[in-house]
Amino acid sequence: LRFGLGLKSEHIDGSTYLFRGAYQKTWLNDLGGELLASAEIGNRPALLLDFYQPLDAQQRFFAEANYLFRREEQGIYQRGDRLAEYRTDKQQLGLSLGANLGVYGQARAGWLVQRNRSDVETGLPSFPTGSTNNDGWYAALDIDQMDRRYFPTHGWKSELRYFRSQDNDYSRVDLNLEAAQKFGDFVVLGRFARSAGTDGALPFYDAARLGGLFNLSG
């Protein structure tokens, strides 16, 4: 069992809070299946269920199934003025097959079922609302050579992801590169990230975001 508490105060979004609880069970079977269940309550409630199943005794190959629900509030701004605030409910069901690349990382491919529902909390009623379906297949390659998961002092990692939407006929590519190097008592961190639509502009419900911790901040 794990528990966590998060408190945040920002100039634009105001104050937020969350309380998180999680349960993890390992070695459900002889091959080392794992179950993770997590729930959050607060300004942005969420629910996560994840089942990870190795397919061989050496755990070189695996299958994974997960479900995610998350409620978010997002403001729409023009020249610094908030025009509207949306409440978005996101649901995602994922099924994937993958391979563990030794101590380097993972490669995987699978299918995503995504449902988004957006409603205007505050703002003009003329702002668009409604639901979108965004199912499709994806492939991902993650390599991680950092010495620590949080606050690394040495190493690098790369994340490459491709998603093809069958419902809305577009593709998205995401690339994230990070590196850390220690110089005496100081650690220098660097990051490069790029998101792009390969078949034209990304739709608004799957657009890349800027801002926040480690995302145009220092």
Give the long-range contacts of residues 207-210, CB within 8 A, separation 24 or more: 208/174
Higher-confidence position of 28 and 119: 28
Share the mean pLDDT of the chain. 90
Higher-confidence position of 41 and 75: 41
Identify the weakest region by mean pLDDT among 21-25, 34-38, 43-47, 214-218: 214-218
Please return the burial class of 116, using the count of CB atoms within 10 Å of its CB with bins 0-12, 13-18 and 19+.
middle
pLDDT tens, residue by residue, 156-182:
999 999 999 998 889 999 999 999 999
- pLDDT band for position 79 (cuts 50, 70, 90): confident
